[in-house]
Structure 1
Amino acid sequence: MVDMAIGIIMGTAFNNVVNVLVKKIFMPPLLYFTNKVSFENQKYVLRVASEDSSEISIGYGELIEVSIDFFIIGLTVFLVVKMMNRFRNKSDDPKNKEVETPKNIQLLSNIEKLIEEQNNLLKRKKE
């Protein structure tokens, strides 16, 4: 339960980081290259506002911004998980001396070696 709470808190904080990253880092160069056309305000007007009705429009600019957010979040999560898996694979290999192997993996490795030795002894006795 605590792990889930920590995950939710970290996810919320990560969301704020990504929002700032997109709005303050990635969007300004994109605005520069598109002659200061802001995606946030882009829309396709279906009906212009009049005295008795409001404007009806499709706001595709927000979809573009949300898609950029989603892409950045997905890329970041992919890179973090890939990095974590690389370290986990190194630590799970008992022959790798660079990273300390967890005790449970060491014990399982020792049991595996003992079983192999026992099988070899039993094969020799049968011969």
Structure 2
Amino acid sequence: MSFFSDFKKFLMKGDIVALATAVVIGAAFKTIIDSVVKDVITPIIGMLTGGLDFTKKFISLDGVNYESLEAAREAKAAVITYGNLIQAIINFIIVGLFIFLFLKYYDKTKKKEEAKPAAPAGPTQEELLMEIRDELRKK
């Protein structure tokens, strides 16, 4: 076998295809979560905290009190943007919640499928052939 045929077999394994599919679905799911966080959750948190935007929170390491994060960055000051960490934690919690709810719903639908009674088994192929044989003998 050649290197390329081995590589092709490797890429076409079910696990690799499933992983690739999961990555693409995960990327799409991330886009949805990012939109929920940015367009729904963050404005609500901002409203509840009086317009507080965590991503604008920072500590200047040079001791100067800058009016904004943009001003500190223009001055090329070293800053710790702890607000971004807070926002990342909020995003993580929201993503975790969405995944939890999705998996809970998925488990519920799986349990319903498992609870359905199995369809009654029909005659096997052998039984059908015996019936046909018996009918042909009668004629």
User: TM-score normalised to the size of structure 1?
Assistant: 0.65
**Alignment partner of 2:43 out of 28, 40, 56:** 28
1:62-77 aligned at under 5 Å gives the runs 62-77=84-99
Where do residues 25-104 of structure 1 align in structure 2 (5 Å cutoff)?
25-48=40-63, 54-93=76-115, 96-97=116-117, 101=118
In structure 2, give the amino acid aligned to 1:16: T
Secondary structure at the residue paired with 1:47? coil
- Aligned-pair CA distance for 1:24: 0.9
Residues 1:7 and 2:22 are matched in the alignment: yes
Question: Residue 40 of structure 1 contacts residue 62 of structure 1 at CA under 8 Å; is this kept in 2?
Answer: yes
Higher radius of gyration, 1 or 2: 2
Alignment identity in percent? 26
Bigger relative contact order, structure 1 or 2 (CA pairs below 8 A, ≥6 apart): 2
Residue 91 of structure 1: CA displacement? 2.0
Which whole-Å CA distance do the structure 1 matches of 2:47 and 2:106 have between them?
36
Residues in 1 aligned to 2:28 and 2:21: alpha-carbon distance in whole angstroms: 11
How far apart in 1 are the matches of 2:50 and 2:91? 21
Q: 2 CA distance for matches of 1:86 and 1:33?
A: 34
**Cα distance, 1:48 vs. partner?**
4.1
Paired residue total: 97
Gap runs ≥5 in structure 1: 108-127
